[in-house]
Chain A
Amino acid sequence: AQKVTQAQTEISVVEKEDVTLDCVYETRDTTYYLFWYKQPPSGELVFLIRRNSFDEQNEISGRYSWNFQKSTSSFNFTITASQVVDSAVYFCALSEAGFLNAGGTSYGKLTFGQGTILTVHP
């Protein structure tokens, strides 16, 4: 069975600080996909990034960066120079390779971590 663990339940920082959100996963599949979603106070789930198990390249998008390490089964998320608008709950999620056949599909069945509540103070 797959499992996603986010070690930090809550993180509180002051604006302009860098912050890293940890994510560790477990899966038996050799092909899998990792995601980060953001849930701001308004409640919607916003997609941030997707990574497949064969692509260990780190990625940077503006102030956001992600570090994927298969050796430690981790997919950590760093926000550089945090801002108040970054305050939200952040979820790490995993989907396995899945299938698509005449009976349907298991694609899109995400297992989420418990979430990390990030509060950025002015």
Chain B
Amino acid sequence: AAGVIQSPRHLIKEKRETATLKCYPIPRHDTVYWYQQGPGQDPQFLISFYEKMQSDKGSIPDRFSAQQFSDYHSELNMSSLELGDSALYFCASSLASPGEKLFFGSGTQLSVL
């Protein structure tokens, strides 16, 4: 069965650079989520999209932006990277339904040097 696909798997950037993470949700899933997991931390909700429209926001820095495209893939753009942005970034998808389980991708490990 198709799963959530994220790319790249690993990304190394310098401070103040920009990074773009991509996510391809499971076909027919109408909602995409981005989560950030710092080292030794639990995943934190960043932002979600429902039917290609931004739906809900969590603790996402202003330096980050995201969008969902007509083919339902989503991109998380991070600018002016800081050392503290080093984390595992997960994308997940689901159907918009109460208590629906989220299917997570394998994550993108971002290292900011």
Residues of A within 8 A of B (CB): 31, 33, 35, 37, 42-47, 50, 52, 91, 95, 97-98, 100, 103-115
Contact of B58 among A44, A97, A109 (CB under 8 A): A109
Give min CB distance, A91 to chain B, whole Å: 6
| Residues of B with C-beta under 8 A to A113 | 42
**Bound complex: CA A114 to CA B94 (Å):** 23
Residues from 8 to 28 in B contacting A, C-beta threshold 8 Å: none
Contact A47 B96 (CB under 8 A): no
B63 at the interface (CB under 8 A from A): no
**Bound complex: CA A79 to CA B41 (Å):** 23
**Bound complex: CA A91 to CA B42 (Å):** 8
| Residues of A with C-beta under 8 A to B105 | 44
Q: Size class of B's contact patch?
A: 20 to 34
| Residues of A with C-beta under 8 A to B42 | 91, 112-115
Which residue in chain A gives the minimum CB-CB distance to B88?
A43
User: 7 extra interchain contacts, Cβ-Cβ under 8 A, other than A47-B102, A104-B48, A110-B102?
Assistant: A46-B104, A47-B103, A105-B48, A106-B55, A107-B97, A108-B92, A112-B43
Contact B104 A97 (CB under 8 A): no
Q: Can you list, as one digit per residue, whether each of B70-93 has a CB less than 8 Å from chain A (1) or not (0)?
A: 000000000000000000101010
Contact of A33 among B45, B49, B54, B98 (CB under 8 A): B98
**Bound complex: CA A91 to CA B40 (Å):** 12
| Residues of A with C-beta under 8 A to B100 | 107-108
Contact B106 A43 (CB under 8 A): yes
Contact B48 A50 (CB under 8 A): no
Give min CB distance, A5 to chain B, whole Å: 11
Which residue in chain A gives the minimum CB-CB distance to B32?
A108
